[in-house]
Structure 1
Amino acid sequence: ILTTPDADQALRAELESKIRELLIQHPDSGELKVAIVVGISDENLENDTASPSATMLSRKGELIQVNFQNMSWAAPYLDDNRVANRPETPSEVVALGDVVYIAEPDLAVDHPEYASSWTLGQLPEVSGALISMEPTTGAIQSLSGGFDYYVSKYNRVEQAQRQPGSNIKPFIYAAAIDNGYTPASLISGAPIVIQDTNQGTVWRPENYSGKFFGPTRIRRALSLSLNLVSVRILRALGIQPTIDFLEKMGIERDGMPNGLSLALGAGTLSPMDMAGAYNVLANGGTRTTPHIIDWIEDAHGNIVEQQVLKTACRHCEALIRQGNQLVTGLTGAALIDDKAIASELLESQATQSSNDKLIKTETASDQLSVEEASTQEPISDVSPNNELLNLNILSLSEAPLEPLEPITEFRQTPIYSSQAMNPVTNYLITDVMKDVVRQGTATRALQLGRTDLAGKTGTTNDFIDAWFSGFNNHTMTSVWVGFDQPRSLGNSESGARAALPIWIDYMSTATAGQPNTALEKPDTIVSRQINKTTGKLTSALDPNGFSEIFPAKSAPSAQPTPAPADDAGAIRPSFTPQESSSQDDLF
């Protein structure tokens, strides 16, 4: 009736009305539009001039044709690990009366084969999250907490608590480098058995590939994401010192396990937490505050509130005065090296002209010392993690407070973030992570044609969570894929397969036009020619040699003798790392 031009018009109108009432029960989802299948043609192009297709009726009453080539992807689902053979006709995909989602032609710009007609779409059961930040400031450039806000208002970037898997390994390896290991340090990749005497259980960690390796350089171990090497590194460093290191990166210790499974990412954190930690790697080792809002203006263009990036103060809080109120920027507490500088900051803010200051400072008669102000209780209860400037107001008199004047100028003086990771450690681990892209688990990212990318895949047991987090100097992006109610994504749905393609698709646009630039190399890093197998110094004539980077104080200057391996299989550096306690050896 609907597809025949000479059909009874009254009957046609009645049927269209009932179909539209049915479609109202199924809302559109973003770019996907709801339609109902009203016609199917399985004719073969070789025997007929008609193309195999299905006809859909949209919510607006439009008849839309979807060619078979634009629905041939829809192989029937069998289970989490299998689909049936690809369909050969439209009737194997849809049936009359099916309510389906279709995508408009202009949404297929990147796929020329679909650009001429509508395509069959699908609401995914699987969920995901993407967050991208500017490394220097922590400004959030993109954030997607799910497929469609109107389908699910659950923001997975901030609210989902997931296991990071191997996505956490760069920080385990960075902790090792920070404690004297180098990218050339050899760690045993042999099988290991860990006993929990309290629970009477035994843990036998394995590599993703199921294979075992001999002594392996740290650089190669991270690029191949070798679990056994990671476990041995953590065992040698100690669990609590490693958790302390992770906490400096912004990873909450409450979500981390007190066991060696930490080395494989058995804790929980949000994609926002993971992105914040990776941003430390991307910007050279400093903590920044992820934020969306830079400033807020009123209707007249006056800035009434402005973001203060996380800064540092070892000895004091930077005090700012406005009118007859004294305010402390807790999220912007500057890490200043001594009290004299803090006092100087206060004095300079009190004497700056109105065109050079963020907000007014107090008069000389009202000014409090750093020590006096730090002992005052703030009137307002504002979380230190508030994204906007915290105004914890200290009353200077019993008189009514004057209204705050609008902020009309930006702060002229830079505010610096605290250094969370040693710049040498940061440079070394970032260079090692570039090998993950060049020759490790993320080689697919080479299609972007860039030389400045570093990152790490992450996959949890049974393929429940898939991650890829990566960056260059200009953009840091982290991607997570998984089900909201944790279950397997399916065999082989690793971070490299499920999350990395999303990261590549986003970064292909985000990095367009960006120059290939590298982190500034610290002066204390030197290069040495070493053997790939032994990790020892070798000559330039060695066919198995390559140039490795070292901290100058740890660089080999003569042919070294083999260091004894400890009972965990880790070959010790020249100094002795902190030993783990007996409790740290428990799973």
Structure 2
Amino acid sequence: YEAKVRIPSEVLKAGDIIFVQVINEIMEDNEYEFALYQEPVAQAALLSIEAETGHVKTMIGGRDFRNSQFNRAYQSRRQPGSAFKPIVYAAALDKGYTAASVIIDSPVVFEDTERDFVWKPHNYKEKFYGPTLFRDALSKSRNIVTIKILQDIGIDYVIDYARKLGITSEINRDLSIALGSSGLSLLEIVNAYSVFSNLGYLIEPVFITKIYDRDGNLIETSKLMRKKVIDMSTAYIMTSILESVVKSGTGRRVKALKRPVAGKTGTTNNLFDAWFLGFTPRFTTGVWVGLDQEAPLGKGETGSRAASPIWLEYMQNALEGKPVRTFNVPEGIVFARIDAKTGLLPIEESEKTIFEAFKEGTVPTEYTPKPDAVSGSEDLFKEGL
């Protein structure tokens, strides 16, 4: 569709200001080719914290401070979508789950008779995947499995766990929090993710490091506020799983950083909000993209598509020239080869095996059943669908 060309005098008058972009400049004739500049509707925010010190290295509260002084990095509260899921999974690891636990991804229905409401949650692609490893459920961002885990370990337990990670905003007391239904600030969720990169330590974000008087005398210095809030092995396993999100899950776009990186995308069902939260051993950085009026960003504008490219470009610049660092493996972590399908010890017939990280004392002791022993249960699952 092409709009009809109008005579400029029909729409313009003396004194009007036209915002344009220079497309082509012909210097010899002093001629220019312009295109009308369209002010973007979408907003974005970015926050980056140095992991070991808590120093806020970058905070961008919006697209243009001259047009809006509202700081979306800490004043705004938006639904994080699947970016909240790592908090549920970390809580589950401290409740006895392992990265090799198997959860059935199958249809569930929740009825609220008091409000005459029925909730039938589904995965992003509206498919069900059957027996799913804990690691795969998060790396592929499976909604149903996350809801089942939350239901098993308890809503109040997860809310309390979020508080330990530094989240102070109000959290809905229902199963929808598994899908990130409660509004959080970018600052809160970036700080929560930094606990994983800091191996269980919550560090108070530092915006001002030093204050000098007019004569150059130092009058105030920030102090490192550091508190251990979760087990080191839990933090490491979460980091390892979030590395899988980048290697083979919804965060694949940021593999281009070509450094060890862990992270998670977030997208709300109505495409109002797109997130990417990620960290390297040096920085924890979060990006939010959305509209202030809470309207859809547009078809396909997920956290992977809308937010992760911004994260990637920022981190490429932030880490340029800095040595590559790997995530430290703490004491209390052991690695074992498991069957990639059952999460149990492998047998000769195992089609695929992987090395998995476990807390000491939680490595599976059972072996994967022979193929003919599990075919019956698989057939029953398929019939159930």
Smaller-chain TM-score bracket = 0.7 to 0.9
Q: AA paired with 2:358? A: F
**What CA distance in whole angstroms lies between the structure 2 residues aligned with 1:466 and 1:487?**
12
Q: Which has more strand, going by share of residues?
A: 2
Distance 1:156 1:559, change over 3 A: same
C-alpha separation in 2, matches of 1:454 and 1:159: 26
Paired residue for 1:260, among 172, 175, 184? 175
Deviation digits for residues 275-313 of structure 1, max 9, x if unmatched? 111111222121111122101011332111221232xxx
In the other structure, the counterpart of 1:140 is 56
> What amino acid is aligned across from residue 189 of structure 1 in structure 2?
D
Deviation at 1:518, TM superposition (A): 2.5
Alpha-carbon separation, structure 1, partners of 2:325 and 2:276: 21
> CA contact under 8 A between 1:529 and 1:539: conserved in structure 2?
no
Aligned match for 2:277, one of 469, 488, 509? 469
| Counterpart-to-counterpart distance in 2, 1:532 and 1:159 | 43
- 1:559 match: secondary structure: coil
Cα deviation per residue 1:231-290 (whole Å; 9 max; x = unaligned)?
Answer: 0000000000110001000112x5211100010000011111111111112221211111
CA distance in 2, matches of 1:526, 1:490: 44
Alpha carbons of 1:36 and 1:473: their partners in 2 closer, same or farther (altered >3 Å)?
closer
Residues 347 and 368, structure 2, Cα contact 8 Å, conserved in 1: no
Q: Secondary structure at the match of 2:292?
A: coil
RMSD between aligned residues: 2.5
Say which SS state the counterpart of residue 553 (structure 1) adopts: coil
Closer, same or farther: CA 211–54 of 1 in aligned 2, 3 Å: farther
The count of aligned residue pairs is: 359
1:460-494 C-alpha deviation (Å, 9 max, x unpaired) = 01111000000011011100000001011111111
Runs of 4+ in 1 over 6 A off after TM superposition: none
2:257 to 444, 448, 468: 448
Alignment partner, residue 382 of structure 1: none
**Residue equivalent to 1:485:** 293
Tell me whether 1:292 sits opposite 2:259 in the alignment.
no
- Give the equivalent residue in structure 2 for 1:65: 32
Change (3 A) 1:64 1:308: farther
**1:83-482 alignment, distance < 5 Å:** 100-101=36-37, 122-252=38-168, 254-310=169-225, 417-450=226-259, 452-482=260-290
Give, in angstroms, the shift of residue 421 of structure 1. Answer: 1.5
Aligned equivalent of 2:7: none
Contact (CA 8 Å) 1:529, 1:540: kept in 2 or not? no
SS in 2 for 1:309: coil
Q: Which runs of 5+ in 2 are unaligned?
A: 1-12
Partners of 1:515 and 1:202 in 2: CA distance: 53
3-state SS, counterpart of residue 255 of structure 2: helix
Aligned residue identity for 1:300? D
Gaps of 5+ in 1: 1-17, 27-33, 38-51, 57-61, 68-93, 95-99, 102-121, 311-416, 570-587
Aligned partners of 2:128, 2:30: CA distance in 1, in Å?
59
Q: Is the 8 A contact 1:205 1:228 kept in 2?
A: yes
User: What letter corresponds to residue 255 of structure 2 in structure 1?
Assistant: L
Counterpart of 2:342 (choices 507, 527, 534) is 534
Amino acid at match of 2:210: W
Alpha-carbon contact 1:539-1:545 (below 8 Å) kept:
no
Q: Percent identity?
A: 40
* Aligned-partner residue type, residue 254 of structure 2: A
Instruction: After TM superposition, give the deviation of residue 558 of structure 1 in Å.
Output: 4.3
Report 1 or 2 for greater relative contact order, CA contacts < 8 Å, sequence distance ≥ 6. Answer: 2
